[in-house]
């Protein structure tokens, strides 16, 4: 009889192996057999759990998204003002366990595959919609909805852009610098809106 929790443990080890393999070799060059070997399980087992490499990538991204949501939720739980909520969302998107080379490489693969894989595209849309919605809600304390939505989209684009630039860079990740860059954009936009309003 298999031990209780063994399946979940094996799935997690396969997801971890997928993240490491993508970082080391790139998504296109890895096989299910290589991932299975890295995780210490049989090739048949990885096919049994996930079916295909695209499904394994989707499962990996669902796991990373769940971790991302957890990080952001923990930050939001401690936020007392709308501005603190914005900062919690930004900081959560650059959490220590997320903003690191292996995970960044997995996210980049996810973005590329989402163009041709429906399941990945749906996951990406859910992530993007949730990020924009959370930011918009917090920004409503400073401006009308149409402005809040515009700046939320700009903030989300900044976050995504920092991740993509880091994926293409050989430099060490610096989460504090990344957070400061996005925070500066938000602060500038809020101040600019306040200045336009006061001049009316």
pLDDT(72) > 90: yes
Q: Which of 10-14, 82-86, 111-115, 190-194 has maximum average pLDDT? A: 82-86
Report residue 115's pLDDT band, with 50, 70 and 90 as the boundaries. Answer: confident
pLDDT tens track for 8-30: 888 889 999 999 999 998 888 88
pLDDT tens across 150-168, in order? Answer: 999 999 999 999 999 998 8
Angle at which helix 6-25 crosses helix 101-113, to 10 degrees, equals: 90
Tell me the whole-structure pTM to 2 decimals.
Answer: 0.87
Q: Is residue 5 scored above 70 in pLDDT?
A: no
CA trace torsion 65, 62, 148, 195 (10° rounding): 30
Q: Does 1 have pLDDT greater than 50?
A: no
69 DSSP assignment: H
Q: Which residues touch 101 (CB under 8 Å, ≥6 apart)?
A: 23, 173
- What proportion of the chain, given as a percentage, has pLDDT over 90? 56
CA distance 30 to 184: 39
For residue 132, the surrounding DSSP H or E stretch is helix 118-139
**CA–CA dist 140, 86 (Å, integer):** 11
HSE-up (13 A, CA, CB side) for residue 175: 13
Q: Sorting pLDDT into bands at 50, 70 and 90, what band is 4?
A: very low
Over 70: is that where the pLDDT of 63 sits?
yes
Crossing angle between the packed helical segments 118-139 and 101-113, to the nearest 10 degrees: 110
Which pLDDT tens digit goes with each residue over 174-187?
Answer: 999 999 999 999 99
Q: Which of 170, 48, 23, 183 is nearest to 103 (CA)?
A: 23
């Amino acid at each position: 009889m298999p031990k209780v929790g063994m399946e979940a443990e094996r799935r997690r080890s396969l997801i971890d192996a997928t993240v490491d393999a993508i970082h080391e070799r790139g998504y296109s060059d890895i096989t299910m057999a290589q991932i299975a070997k890295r995780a210490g399980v049989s090739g048949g087992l990885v096919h049994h759990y996930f079916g295909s490499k695209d499904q394994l990538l989707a499962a990996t991204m669902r796991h990373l998204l769940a971790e991302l949501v957890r990080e952001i939720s923990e930050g939001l739980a401690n936020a007392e003002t709308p501005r603190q909520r914005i900062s919690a969302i930004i900081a959560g998107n650059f959490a220590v366990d997320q903003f690191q080379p292996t995970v960044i490489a997995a996210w980049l693969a996810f973005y590329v595959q989402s163009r041709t894989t429906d399941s990945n595209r749906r996951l990406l849309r859910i992530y993007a919609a949730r990020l924009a919605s959370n930011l918009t809600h917090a920004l409503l304390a400073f401006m009308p909805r149409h402005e809040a939505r515009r700046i939320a989209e700009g903030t989300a684009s900044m976050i995504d852009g920092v991740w993509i630039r880091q994926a293409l860079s050989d430099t060490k990740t610096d989460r504090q610098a990344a957070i400061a860059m996005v925070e500066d954009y938000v602060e500038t936009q809020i101040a600019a809106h306040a200045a336009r309003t006061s001049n009316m």
